[in-house]
């Protein structure tokens, strides 16, 4: 399933993506044109968004590795937007930030 949607608020985008997860649709890709691709799933997932300024390839590899160590999967998205999309199965440890200031 594909949906077209434009967001200017990262928190609203995250909320909408999690609403799709609650309906049983897991995000698999996000294009630079606002096209979100979903697939049907029976598992419960959670999605978190994180904004990062430009990261070199090495810094991105390190950044991605940290999240993956904690069970998060990176969702392909427009590289230049700065928004990074993370998804994992819901296990009650669903936050990517350890404090308010980081968020």
Q: What residues make up the domain containing 82?
A: 2-88
75, 26 contact by CB (below 8 A): no
Domain count of the fold of the chain: 1
Residue 37 resides in a domain = yes
The rounded mean pLDDT for the chain is 87
Instruction: Give residue 97's pLDDT.
Output: 52
Residue 98 resides in a domain = no
Residue 61 resides in a domain = yes
State the DSSP H helix or E strand holding residue 4, giving kind and residue range, or none if neither. strand 2-4
Instruction: Give residue 33's pLDDT.
Output: 85
Instruction: Give residue 96's pLDDT.
Output: 66
Is the pTM higher than 0.85? The answer reads no
Residue 7 resides in a domain = yes
Residue 20 resides in a domain = yes
Residue 99 resides in a domain = no
75, 83 contact by CB (below 8 A): no
State the DSSP H helix or E strand holding residue 67, giving kind and residue range, or none if neither. helix 57-69
Name 89's bridge partners: 45
Confidence band (pLDDT; 50, 70, 90) for 103?
Answer: very low
């Amino acid at each position: 399933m594909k949906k077209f949607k434009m967001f200017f608020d990262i928190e609203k985008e995250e909320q909408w993506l999690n609403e799709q997860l609650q309906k049983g649709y897991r995000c698999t890709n996000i294009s630079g044109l606002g096209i979100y691709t979903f697939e049907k799933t029976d598992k419960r997932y959670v999605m978190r968004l994180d904004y990062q300024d430009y990261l070199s390839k090495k810094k991105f590899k390190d950044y991605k590795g940290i999240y993956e160590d904690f069970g998060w999967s990176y969702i392909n998205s427009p590289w230049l937007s700065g928004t990074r999309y993370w998804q994992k199965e819901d296990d009650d440890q669903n936050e990517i930030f350890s404090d308010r200031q980081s968020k």
